[in-house]
Amino acid sequence: MSLKIVFMGTPKFSVPALDILLKNKFNILMTYTQPPKKSKRGQKINSSPVEEFCKKNNIKFKNPSSLNSKEEFNNLKKISPDLVIVVAYGKIIPKSFLKIAKFGFINIHASLLPKWRGAAPIQRAIMNRDKKIGVSIMKIEEKLDSGPVLASKEFELDKNATHGDIEKKLSIEGANLLIQNLKIIQTGNPKFTNQDNSQATYAKKVEKNEARIDWKIDADKVLAHIHGLSPRPGAWFEFENERFKVLRAKISSENGKPGYVLDENLTIGCLSNSIQILELQRQGKNIQTTREFLLGKKINKGKILF
């Protein structure tokens, strides 16, 4: 008998898991996603990627502004799912909900738990220059990302990969891992392993004040900072009273004073070694390669970036 599933997710990261459930003909009773939001510029209303996917594939969905009501509790109870799958939904699941489903709630989390519990696991792993990165499937409990783990998969962390690159990879790998383990859950004999809470670290949300590039640190730390924040919110520097986001870079062996432009290819001195910028973005403009960018905006050798 096929599992009766409720899915909860919102951003692009959630879509591969919902897609693979659909392709494997699981019984998706309902999908929950966050309500549409106004765009930063203008008044355009943007539905979530999960909502758009549901519309295209005729999947029933709800987008309540809050789950903290008796009405929403009763709605989910009436649906009566065997299992609720949560992938970057973006809302805390009320404690009262967790016993509604026969097999509970499980979550795809983009870290090797118990490391990097919380809102920004990929960003923090990159910025911390971790050697490994991965994805875990865990049971949701009241305390954030603390539930027992059913399965995980780890990968080498490529220092030249951005947050955007890794997020895409882990969304697909997490979806594949989910399908493998749903078969185990369906047998009624899944083996969950408790996390070692003494080894837990917390991936707090990235704040805007963390995004400015500090050239007075080692180049490998600067690179991790740039790639950890790419494409959003984007690490940035200022030049001639204008802010520029750096989206991709590589380490160079050239040496020079921190913050100084060392050549005509936007290689910037750091405390040790240097960073060559490969992709960047002016305010209000599209992302460009350094070569494209320099055709319209000269930043000559010897200039200082702040």
Res. 139: pLDDT tops 90: yes
pLDDT at 204: 95
* pLDDT higher at 43 or 224: 224
pLDDT at 41: 64
pLDDT at 45: 86
Burial class from Cβ neighbours inside 10 Å (0-12, 13-18, 19+) for residue 20 reads middle
Res. 4: pLDDT tops 60: yes
Q: Minimal CA–CA distance to 274: which of 195, 190, 197, 213?
A: 213
Q: Minimal CA–CA distance to 86: which of 144, 46, 134?
A: 144
pLDDT at 189: 84
Above pLDDT 70, what percent of the chain? 98
Could you write out the DSSP letters of every residue in 192-205? -B---GGG--EEPP
Would you place residue 2 in the very low, low, confident or very high pLDDT band (cuts 50, 70, 90)?
confident
The conformational region for residue 188 under phi > 0 = left, psi -120 to 50 = alpha, else beta, is: left
Above pLDDT 90, what percent of the chain? 93
Annotated domain spans of the chain:
4-203, 208-296
The arrangement of secondary structure in 4-203, i.e. its CATH architecture, is 3-Layer(aba) Sandwich (3.40)
Could you write out the DSSP letters of every residue in 97-142? GGGTSTT-EEEEESS-TTTTEES-HHHHHHHTT-SEEEEEEEE--S
Q: pLDDT per residue over 49-78, tens digit each?
A: 999 999 999 999 999 999 999 999 999 999
CB-based contact 220:129 (threshold 8 Å): yes
Task: Collect all residues with Cβ–Cβ distance below 8 Å to 151 and sequence separation of at least 6.
Answer: 136, 137, 177, 180, 181
Distance CA 161, CA 171 (A): 15
The 3-state DSSP class for residue 226 equals helix
**Cis amide bond preceding 190, omega within 30:** no
Once rounded to an integer, what is the mean pLDDT over residues 227-250? 97
* Domain 4-203 identical in fold to domain 208-296: no
Tokens 């200039």 identify what position?
A: 303
Read off the tokens for 115.
């490391």
Q: Minimal CA–CA distance to 235: which of 203, 285, 280, 205?
A: 280
* pLDDT higher at 2 or 170: 170
**CATH class (in words) of the domain with range 208-296:** alpha beta
Distance CA 62, CA 86 (A): 14
Average pLDDT for the chain: 96
pLDDT at 226: 98
Read off the tokens for 219.
């180049």
Instruction: Tabulate helix, strand, coil % of the chain (nearest 5).
Output: 30, 25, 45
Element (H, E) at 269: strand 267-269
Distance CA 7, CA 106 (A): 10
Q: pLDDT per residue over 77-107, tens digit each?
A: 999 999 999 999 999 999 999 999 999 999 9
Q: pLDDT per residue over 192-202, tens digit each?
A: 999 999 999 99
Could you write out the DSSP letters of every residue in 64-106? -S-S-SHHHHHHHHHH--SEEEEES--SPPPGGGGGTSTT-EE
pLDDT at 42: 60
Q: pLDDT per residue over 245-298, tens digit each?
A: 999 999 998 999 999 999 999 999 999 999 999 999 999 999 999 999 999 999
- The pTM for the full model equals 0.94
Res. 29: pLDDT tops 90: yes
Distance CA 126, CA 162 (A): 8
